[in-house]
């Protein structure tokens, strides 16, 4: 690509970012020299001398994890790169029920598909069927760099070198994958929270999604990042799927392993949890979708803090009400959230008037 073309594309991506993001201090500082920064970035991409400047770590909670964010200019470059190269090549290949990080998808659409699938299974088998659910332990912390880079060669030489620079700019030396490969400790792990990492996670198990889809024993399969959900008629079919996933991960050398506690197969009578919601099926076909207890406690804590801060003048009631409406919008997707929301309004009041 020509330097001028890259510059204009980066500039357009920067404008979109400014429109959609709050102006942080980092963004404000970048704004003052944006022309120079974007021009220099375009030059380094054109002559292939660009490298990731580094990351700054910070903690997020619920669940607690460390995010490693790229510098502001690198976030623009990585967003441009994902849209121009990764999405162009891989989105047409993705399994339709691969639900994470894609426009028009997400956890609520996933919920709709799951409820439809439960109804379908009930019509075919009643309550005599099985759920197989898998989850990767430390998904992003243990990606094998070489396997990921091999997968992304399909992007083509023009864009592939950028992916190499991004992947090789970060590693997790104390993940289980690195600890089991003492000679290659820098070959595992990608930063949580970056767009290239998210899309690596979306794409890495795409072949497995299609294998489930093509398996005549599998009535339904859906995946949200590393959380896979699959429905089978019999226990033996579900058990075989469990063994197949373990073999798939071993043969492809992804670096990741299944989470022992979160990977299981069981009759639908036990219910299951997917994307923060607890699903259960009654003998009469009634489907219950309830918020997971840990998520409910997290929401109650947030509401209590907001209620206290409004009462003491530390938070604007308008801001608190907007945040609460976001929580209630999330809860409204459950089948039995009405009474919970009524309780939360009463227990953690937020008033526009003192």
Same domain, 234 and 190: yes
User: For the residues of 10-51, what is the DSSP string, one character each?
Assistant: HHHHHHHHHHHS---HHHHHHHHTHHHHHHHHHHHHHTT---
pTM (2 decimals)? Answer: 0.90
In a domain, 353, yes or no: no
What three-state secondary structure class fits 351?
coil
Question: What number of other Cβ atoms are within 10 A of residue 349's Cβ?
Answer: 11
In a domain, 352, yes or no: no
Same domain, 306 and 287: no
Same domain, 107 and 204: yes
Same domain, 267 and 317: no
Same domain, 217 and 231: yes
Cα–Cα separations (whole angstroms), residue 70 to 55, 67, 73, 238: 4, 10, 8, 41
The residues, ordered by sequence, that sit 6+ positions from 103 with a Cβ below 8 Å of its Cβ are none
69, 93, 117 - which closes a domain: 93
Determine which helix (DSSP H) or strand (DSSP E) holds 78, and give its type and residue range.
helix 72-81
In a domain, 354, yes or no: no
In a domain, 314, yes or no: yes
93, 128, 161 - which closes a domain: 93
pLDDT in tens, the chain (354 residues): 799 999 999 999 999 888 766 667 888 888 889 999 999 999 999 999 999 999 988 887 666 788 899 999 999 999 999 999 999 999 999 999 999 999 999 999 999 999 999 999 999 999 999 999 999 999 999 999 999 999 999 999 999 999 999 999 999 999 999 999 988 889 999 999 899 999 999 999 999 999 999 999 999 999 999 999 999 999 999 999 999 999 999 999 999 999 999 999 999 999 999 999 999 999 999 999 999 988 899 999 999 999 999 989 899 999 999 999 999 999 999 998 999 999 999 999 987 765
Task: Enter the DSSP assignment of 116.
Answer: H
Number of domains within the chain? 3
Q: Identify each DSSP E strand in 113-167 by its residue range.
A: 130-137
Q: List the beta bridge partners of residue 58.
A: 67
Same domain, 137 and 285: yes
Q: 211 is in which domain, residue-wise? A: 96-291
Same domain, 126 and 268: yes
Same domain, 301 and 189: no
Same domain, 119 and 262: yes
């Amino acid at each position: 690509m020509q330097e001028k073309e890259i510059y204009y594309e980066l500039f357009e991506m920067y404008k979109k970012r400014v429109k959609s993001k709050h102006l942080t201090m980092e963004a404000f500082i970048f704004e003052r020299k944006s022309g120079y920064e974007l021009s220099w970035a375009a030059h380094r991409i054109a002559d292939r001398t660009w490298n990731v400047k580094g990351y700054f770590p910070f903690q997020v909670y619920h669940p607690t994890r460390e995010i490693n964010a790229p510098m502001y200019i690198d976030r623009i470059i990585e967003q441009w790169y994902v849209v121009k190269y990764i999405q162009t090549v891989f989105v047409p290949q993705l399994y339709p029920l691969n639900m994470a990080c894609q426009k028009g998808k997400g956890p609520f659409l996933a919920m709709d598909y799951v409820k439809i699938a439960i109804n379908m299974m009930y019509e075919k088998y009643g309550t005599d069927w099985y759920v197989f659910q898998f989850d990767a332990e430390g998904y992003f912390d243990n990606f094998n760099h070489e396997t990921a880079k091999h997968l992304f060669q399909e992007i083509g030489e023009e864009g592939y070198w950028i992916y190499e620079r991004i992947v090789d700019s970060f590693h997790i030396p104390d993940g289980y994958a690195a600890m089991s490969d003492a000679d290659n400790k820098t070959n595992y792990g990608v930063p949580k929270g970056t767009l290239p990492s998210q899309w690596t996670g979306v794409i890495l198990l795409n072949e497995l999604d299609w294998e489930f889809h093509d398996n005549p024993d599998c009535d339904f399969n859906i995946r949200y990042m590393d959380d896979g959900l699959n429905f089978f008629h019999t226990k033996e079919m579900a058990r075989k799927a469990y063994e197949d996933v373990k073999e798939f991960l071993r043969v492809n050398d992804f670096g990741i392993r299944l989470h022992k506690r979160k990977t299981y197969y069981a009759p639908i009578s036990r219910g299951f949890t997917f994307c923060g919601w607890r699903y259960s099926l009654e003998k009469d076909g009634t489907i219950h979708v309830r918020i997971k207890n840990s998520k409910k406690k997290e929401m109650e804590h947030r509401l209590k803090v907001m209620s206290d801060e409004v009462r003491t003048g530390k938070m604007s009631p308008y801001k608190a009400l907007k945040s609460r409406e976001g929580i209630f919008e999330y809860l409204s997707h459950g089948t039995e959230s009405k009474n919970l929301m009524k309780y939360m309004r009463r227990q953690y009041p937020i008033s526009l008037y003192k």
